Every structure is written in C-alpha cells, then in structure tokens.
Chain A
Amino acid sequence: MTASATADRTRAQGPSSRSPALTTFTDALHAEWTKLRTVAGTAWLLAAAVVLTVGLSAASAAEVTCDGPHCGEDPGKVGLLGVLLGQAVVAVLAVLAVGEEYGSGMIRVTFAAMPRREAVLAAKALVVAVLTGAAGVLAVAGSAVVALALMPGRGFTPANGYGPATSTAGASHLITAATTRAAFGSVLYLILVALLAVGVTALLRDSASAVGAVLGLLYLFPIVALVISNPDWHRHAEQLAPMQAGLSIQNTIDLAHQPLSPWQGIGVLAAWAFGALAVGGIVMRARDA
C-alpha cells in the first residue's frame, strides 16, 4: 500500500523542483497518515483517550473537596487528574503505530519504499503527535469544562484562596495563568508520552512488550518512590520519574515546595521522550527489520 501510494504521488506530481529529501519526507508523512487514519483501532483509541480522561477528571473534581483556606488541594491536579489514565490509551495508540508493522511484517515493505529509516520514524512520531494533540485538546478541554462547573461548589472559591478575591461570580476565578499553563501543558504531556512510546517501540519491536515497558516506566516510579524513605532520594525519584516530573506541569499552587518547577518537569519528560526516540532511531537504522 505504501509503495503504491508513494508511486502514485510521485507520478501525479511529476518532476519536482523541491529537493528529493524534502519530497521523501512529505511522502513518508502522507503514507504514515494514511496508514494510521485507515486502521480501525485509531478512532476508537482516540475516543477512549478522551472519554477516560474526562471521566476520571470529572470523578476527581466531584470527589475532592477543599475544606478551608490553605487546604492544599491543587486545582490543576484535581481538575486534570484524568490525564493519568488517558496517557495509557495514548501510549497504546503510539505503540501500535510502530509495533503493528513489526508484528505483521509490513515494516519491511515500508523500509523498502522509504530506505531512510529515521525519516519513517520521524514521520510516524509526527503523525502520532498530531493525532494525540488533537485528542489531548478535546480531553483537556472537556476536563476543564467539567472541573470549572464542579469545583467552585466543592470549596475551590476565592475565599479559600483560589484566584483573585475580587473576581466576579462563576468559575472564572479558577482561570488563571497557572491553570491555563496546566491545561496546555497537559496536552503537551500527552504528546510527549506518545513520543516516548514511539521511541520505546522502535527499540523493542514488539507491541505487547513495548506497552508493558512504557506503562511500567510511567506508573512504577511513584510506587517505588513510596518505599524510599530518605527525603533526598525520594525527591530524586520524583524528579527522574517521567510521569511525576512531567505532571509537574499541572502544579498551580505551592510551586516553591515542589521537587521541580512545571517547565523543568515537562523538560524531564521531554528528555525521556526524545532520548527514547533517538535511541530507537539509531537502533532501527542499525538493525534488521
């Protein structure tokens, strides 16, 4: 399919004035987009990511109460908790985009049509990132709408120290620079998790093992951190953990006492994601398909 699609495009476009490398990458993008778009699972997974994220965020916003001033509840974390669950679906989507080609042997056709393997990986990463971003925007926007509707009634009021005390009625006092950053950052977080999953799958070449590895990387650090009692090591574990560091982007209160600042935290996750992509790309180049 890829080969014929590429051939069609080349014939239709005819001789191009653009450099061959650029044409190749655009074709790779187009091929990857067609493949991911036409697989039945993609739409379901994107829908599941949105539904699960909004569902858990809504449950959290309905369940957590702030019982007074300085209650310590972070509106960013409470209202966007669903990202913790949605990331698992996003990871599956990203893993399947790479891993299924290895599973079916399709990857040999892809590499035959596109000998520059790192371009294939980059194209896959870009397509997955765009789709994840789209689903992420929907998921985070849905979570935010539910959170803004529920949380002022659960004690997240200006009187308890949320937002400027002078703000008018409604939930607008919860829309601050910090919570806006938390919302956009959560979309970015989901995209980076997807890129991490693409990189890990390129490395492992098997969907099931890659899902296990990615979800293990994300969910095991907080569990391990629980049994580390030394405060310094505990802090380091939280700073290194892709999930906990990345979700620092959702911190909106008490920033001085967090192990990482929001942007440092998302930077740690970005280092994991692009590190995995780089290693995956190098290994993919060097190894048999």
Chain B
Amino acid sequence: MPATRDGFGQLLHAEWTKLRTVRGWTIGLLVAVFLTIGIGLLGPAGSQSSCSHADGSSGSCTAQSPPKRADGLEVTDEKTFVHRTLSGDGSITARLTALSGVYPAGGGSPDGDQGLVPGLLPWSKAGVLVKDGTAAGSAYAAVLATGTHGVRMQYDYTGDLAGLPGTVGAAAPRWLRLTREGDVLTGYDSADGSTWARIGSTRLSGLPRDLEVGVFATSPDYAVIKNSFGGSSVNTGPSLATGTFDRVTVSGQSPGAWTVPAEGPGAPGGPGGPANAPGPRSGPGNGTGPGSDKPGSHPGAVATGADAFIVTGSGDIAPASAGVGSGKTVESALAGTFAGLIAVIVVAALTMTSEYRRGLIRTSLAASPRRGRLLAAKAVVLGGTAFVVGLIAAAAAVPAVTAVEHSKGMYVFHASTQDEIRMVVGTAALLAVAAVLALGVATIVRRGAAAVAAVIVVIVVPYVLATASVLPAGAAEWLTRVTPAAAFAVQQTSKPWAQVVAVYTPSNGYYPLSPWLGLAVLALYAAGAYALAHRLLKRRDA
C-alpha cells in the first residue's frame, strides 16, 4: 500500500526534523566530532620529547624507524650470519648438532635478577638461511630449528611452516636444506641426512642472481610481564642462542670464502640497538643489555673446521610487533572515540527519553499508531546520523593525528590502506550501533540518566577494566570477548604473530576477536535491546 510507504518516509522525516532542530542535540553531535579529533591529538601532543634512546643518549628527535620489508611492514632482522655468495641456482645443506642458549631470567629489570641463566626461548632459532644480501629487511628464506617449536621453514618474515617436531641434541641432530631454483626456494629437513622431507616452498619475486647463503643463529628478547594499574609493564632483556653446525655444504656456483662475523665485545643486540625499545607503558625496564661480560656470551661465530661453525646470535628475523615498541599505531589516533561515543550515547538516549518527559511520545504515537515503526524510524535516523558523525570524526582524526606524529618525528607503524579504511568505517559503524543500543535501552528504562549510565557502563567500563586495571590478561581477554567493548577490535591494525612472543593483550591494542566479529558482539547487544524495546513499546502505556 503506497500510503504505508509514504508513512514511513514521513516518519523518518519527522524524526530527522526532531533531531536536527533541538539545539542541545546538534551541539552534542558536534561535540562528539571535536572530542574524537581533539583527544586523538592529545596523544602526540603529550609525546613531544619522547626521545630518550635505549642507549641512554638523548637530544635530537629522530624517528627510531625499524627496518622494513619491501611492502613497508616493520620487521626485526638481527642475527649472526656466517655467509658466502651463491650465484644462480644451488642449495645449502647443514647439520645442526646442538642448540643452546642463555636468557635473563629477570627480564633485565633493574630490581630483578640480572644474571643470564642457561636455556632456550620458544623461538630461539638456528639454521640455514638464503638471503637477498645482508641488508636488514631484505627478502629471505630459512630452514631452522627452534627452542620448542621444532624445525620450521620461515620466509619473507611472515611465512612460517612446520617441519620435524622435537628438540635438537647430540642424539637427535637435524639436517637442514634450502634449494634455490630461480625465484623458488624449497626447504627440506631430515633426521639422518639420507631421508629428506620437503617442508614447503615459496616464491620470492625479484630475487637477484647473487644471494648470500649460510648458517645463522638468533634469539629474541626475553620479556617479563607484570600487570599493574595503568597497564602492564614489560621488562625485556636480550637472550642468546648458540647453534653448532657441521657438514655445511653449498652446491652450485659459489666463489669466494665464508664470511665469519667475529665475536664482538659489546652487549648483544648489535649496532642497531635493542630490537624493541620498550615504550612508555613498559615502566622501569629500559631494554639495556646485561652489564656482565661473561666469556662466550657474545654474538658472533667461530669456524671449528672447514665445514663446521659455532654461531651465537641475538635478535630475531620476524615481523616487529607494534604497540609494544617505541612507535605509534595508527589506531592510537582514534583514542578519542570513547569521548565521541559518550556524546552520541547521550543524544541517542535523549531522543527517546525527552519524548517521555515532555509527553511528546503520546503525540508521536497518535501520529504513528504502529509503534514499531516509530522506533524503527528513530533507529534509522539515529544510526545514520551517528554513522556520519563517526565517519567524519574518524576520517579527520586519522590523517590529522598521523601528520602531527610525523611532524614530531615519531614513528607510526605501517597499516595497509585496506586496514585504515576498515578502521575508519568500523569506527563509524561502532557509533551507529552504539546509538541504536542507547535508543533501545532508553526505550526500555524511559529515564535518560539511567539509560546513559547503563550503556556507558556496558561499553566503556569493560574496556577500562581490561586495559587499565589490576585484572590479569586472561580476564581482560574475556572482557573484550563477551562484553560490548569487544567492538573496539574494529580499530585494531596491528597483527599478532604466532612466531613472535609479545604481549598480545587488549591494553597493547590486541583484541581476542577479529575486527568485524568484535563489532558483531556489540550489534548482538544492540539487537537484543532493540527487540525488547520494540516489545515493551507496543505493550506498555505511553
């Protein structure tokens, strides 16, 4: 019936007119935009002189830019690499007979235990490596043994395939092999040197003819995590891994001799400094290496025969985890979302409760006797308006905050354009869904203050509890999984990596749910509140 369709259109128009013409609500929505952008800008504004380097020097503020992969992804690329040049196709084979290591048990904290204790970290690694030159961030493939994850084939920083399980020892050596045919690198492993199993292969496009091949060892920083009010504090300290190789053979055109890096006297970490300079949230830890110069606890390599090496290394060849280091994540530009969210919640709740307070609801319902349609019209107008408000605020905040961060010499972690668009659109959707939730709750309780408080408590308080309270990481993850605060996952651009041990907690910007699934949790709450509101509005006296 055309009249009905006209009816809903008119209803939408009526609701839009109500929303548009109340001065306080327009101000509230403008406040949402300005608070979102303004609070986002407070982050870099409050980080003006954040230039204390890990080595103790201060002064000029140069961005501590980590090495990058060709596509811009930040990586860690520190290892001890005994290498020679391979021209064209060929392969490298080595037997790893021992893998041992030391790590700082206290995480290198000033008040903790400074001593290095023997032991391997889960992702301490040693193996064979084929790399496009020795520059940090260049393409590579490696077949390596790890502390607790067995043999892996890793390539191009993010690739990670599983090979033989188990740990390396004199009784259980590991034979490792990488072959190169054009751009294709294939990894094999073997327990006895005669039966080989293929782990996998990868194509690294654009490899030059000359590559560096050899054996390497490295071991990531050891972190001790403490939760405290205001976030978790992390103490990190470098660890060392030592791989004992023999029967290292290179087949193919390989002129020249082995380049063996000498054992350096300095602390582990190399000239690039500690891989992850801890950020402000890391509290007392400053990431400096252990002061003691114990013999044998330095990165470096020695040749113990024509085809045998003992390689000791510190660092990692892996993607750098954002949020823990000194750089900023893109999503930190949207810290003001919470303020904008509160303003939107207030306006959304008021659009319904003020009708009850003024008795206008009776007029509205007389004009639109099908009550469900009135609620639907309000939801469409509010949701749409909140979406536009969120889109404007986020689309302005992200480039503005990033520009200020760049101008202050801060490093901003790479995020793909696709992720940035998802973050901005997701923030707009978050505000829209929260507005519908507030409308539903306001219709149920019919009191503005109670509705506003309830919606803020279910969205914002779980986030505060998860990121800035004494609750342990497990409880924080649970909170950001089942409460509406899960929706903030839609702003996450930093990725957790299985092959990198880091603090993947909500306070560091890592949510347990995927972005859209997190938003779906909030949508589920909003749908529940809307359904109950719809039911009550139809049954109750106005």
A residues bordering B, Cβ < 8 Å? 41, 56, 59-60, 63-65, 70-74, 77-78, 81, 84-85, 88-89, 91-92, 95-96, 99-100, 103-104, 206-212, 215-216, 219-220, 222-234, 237-238, 244, 247
- Among the 9-residue stretches B146-154, B449-457, B496-504, the one with 4 or more Cβ atoms under 8 Å from chain A is B449-457
Count of A-B residue pairs with CB < 8 Å: 165
Known: A73-B470, A208-B350. A220 touches B39 (CB 8 A): yes
Q: Given contacts A207-B448, A219-B338, A228-B280, list 18 more A-B pairs with CB under 8 A.
A: A41-B450, A64-B471, A71-B226, A81-B465, A89-B453, A92-B453, A209-B24, A209-B28, A212-B346, A219-B464, A224-B39, A224-B43, A226-B467, A227-B43, A227-B328, A229-B46, A229-B50, A231-B280
B42 partner residues in chain A, CB cutoff 8 A: 224, 227-228
B231 partner residues in chain A, CB cutoff 8 A: 226
CB <8 Å contact, A84 and B464: yes
A243 to B50, CA, bound (A): 26
A59 partner residues in chain B, CB cutoff 8 A: 475
A64 to B338, CA, bound (A): 27
Residue from the set A96, A231, A237 with the largest chain B CB neighbour count within 10 Å: A231
CB <8 Å contact, A72 and B226: yes
Q: Is the interface of A mostly helix, strand, loop or mixed?
A: helix
A234 partner residues in chain B, CB cutoff 8 A: 46, 280
A247 partner residues in chain B, CB cutoff 8 A: 229
A128 to B281, CA, bound (A): 38
CB <8 Å contact, B339 and A63: no
A208 partner residues in chain B, CB cutoff 8 A: 346, 349-350, 353, 448-449, 451-452
Known: A72-B226, A210-B449. A229 touches B328 (CB 8 A): yes
A to B CB contacts below 8 Å, 30 in the list: A41-B450, A64-B472, A72-B226, A81-B465, A88-B456, A95-B449, A100-B449, A208-B448, A208-B451, A211-B453, A215-B456, A216-B339, A216-B342, A216-B456, A219-B338, A223-B460, A223-B463, A223-B467, A224-B336, A226-B467, A226-B507, A227-B43, A228-B42, A228-B280, A229-B326, A230-B47, A231-B280, A234-B46, A244-B230, A247-B229
B residues bordering A, Cβ < 8 Å? 24, 28, 39, 42-43, 46-50, 111, 226-231, 279-281, 326, 328, 332, 335-336, 338-339, 342-343, 345-346, 349-350, 353, 357, 447-453, 456-457, 460-461, 463-465, 467-472, 474-475, 507
A74 to B457, CA, bound (A): 24
Minimum CB–CB distance for A40 against chain B, Å: 11
CB <8 Å contact, B449 and A74: no
Among residues of B, the one whose C-beta sits closest to the C-beta of A251 is B229
A59 to B332, CA, bound (A): 30
Known: A73-B470, A230-B49. A207 touches B449 (CB 8 A): yes
Residue from the set A65, A95, A222 with the largest chain B CB neighbour count within 10 Å: A222
Task: Select which of A85, A95, A233 is within 8 A of B47 by beta carbon.
Answer: A233
CB <8 Å contact, A228 and B467: no
B229 partner residues in chain A, CB cutoff 8 A: 74, 77, 244, 247
